[in-house]
Amino acid sequence: MESKSTKIVIAHRGASGYLPEHTLASKAMAYAMQPDFLEQDLVLSKDDIPIVIHDIYLETVTDVIEKFPDRKRADGRYYVIDFTYHELLELQVSERFDTKTKKPIYKNRFPLDKSTFKLNSLQDEIELIQGLNKSTGNNIGIYPEIKDPAFHLKEGKDISKIVLETLSSYGYKNKNDACILQCFDVEELKRIRKELHSKLFLVQLTEAEDSSSSLQSYTDYADGVGPWYKQISPEYIVEAHDLGLTVHAFTFRADDLGEFESFDALLNYGFNTLDLDGIFTDFPDKAVQFLKK
Ligand code: CA
């Protein structure tokens, strides 16, 4: 895909700086901002439907505690995997909040408990994006993430197999299709390539600072690496590029600037100082505008 060789913008959980993450509203808004890809985090429902949600838990972005008070596990948490797709559709989604204080994580974002937002399946979201591609004439891609495959396996579910089947049924099969598949779990991403024989563009997400040997080991099965931008240097990116790996770093937020004086300064650091190939951002409009300048 040609866009993978130039700098790209990935709408992290949609336009999540403006609307509750991973809702179709957030995805439609992000789509209109014309990023290159929209991201989907995926967790299976009880009836094996891939649901677009960041955590394996429900209580940090929904009203599950009020709607299904008896459905928590012994650890006090409410698991996506314990609910059927139709039960999940009953939940009201809101901006991410702290369950203890009931305060939003990002205080200047969309207010809690306003309007109506729902969870949706991967299928719902692909149909939204492919429908918009048809009606607008654009070709915006999807960037699904397999969440916690080891947890799913412990629950008796092969999430990667199910997600790959869904992707394939919507035409996402090869590296030149508008789809990048990401996962933090090294063994699982290897399995996706070598045992499940996926030909998709694969990105190895990574939380720790990678050594040269781990970067080298990714080239055996992955096409790119997805590090936290705070843990990498320009040298890391040169090394990754020399190995043929694309680098897409997370997560650029206009309301979490750290040491940077403006979001443009942070974007300049990512795209120019680090020379990243792409960024995950909660504010895709600002990143798209930055690249146009
Ligand atoms: Ca993600």
pLDDT in tens, 259-272: 999 999 999 999 99
Residue 1 has a pLDDT of 42
Residue 208 has a pLDDT of 80
Residue pair 51/24 in contact by the 8 Å Cβ criterion: no
- CA–centroid distance, 293 to ligand 1, in Å, is 27
Residue 147 Cα distances to 13, 63, 236, angstroms = 13, 21, 25
Residue 14 Cα distances to 30, 32, 143, angstroms = 5, 11, 11
- CA–centroid distance, 167 to ligand 1, in Å, is 17
Q: What is the pLDDT of residues 5-15, one digit of tens each?
A: 489 999 999 99
Per annotation, catalytic residue among 22, 54, 152, 248? 54
Closest CA to 7 of 281, 246, 264: 246
Q: How confident is the model at residue 38 (pLDDT cuts 50, 70, 90)?
A: very high
Active site residue 54: yes
Residue 2 has a pLDDT of 40
User: Is pLDDT above 50 for 3?
Assistant: no
The pair of structure tokens assigned to 101 is 């204080």
- CA–centroid distance, 111 to ligand 1, in Å, is 22
Residues in CB range of 258: below 8 A, 6 or more apart = 230, 266
pTM of the predicted model, to two decimals? 0.97
Q: What is the CA radius of gyration of the chain?
A: 18
User: Is pLDDT above 90 for 115?
Assistant: yes
Residue 212 has a pLDDT of 87
Residue pair 125/28 in contact by the 8 Å Cβ criterion: no
Residue pair 60/53 in contact by the 8 Å Cβ criterion: no
- CA–centroid distance, 10 to ligand 1, in Å, is 10
Mean pLDDT of the 51-75 span: 98
Per annotation, catalytic residue among 12, 22, 152, 248? 12
Mean pLDDT of the 243-252 span: 98
Q: What is the pLDDT of residues 182-208, one digit of tens each?
A: 999 999 999 999 999 999 999 999 988
Residue 147 has a pLDDT of 98
- CA–centroid distance, 156 to ligand 1, in Å, is 23
Residues with a beta carbon under 5 angstroms from ion ligand 1: 41, 145
d(CA 23, CA 27): 6
Active site residue 12: yes
DSSP state string for 220-254: TT-SEEEEBGGG--HHHHHHHHHTT-EEEEEEE-T
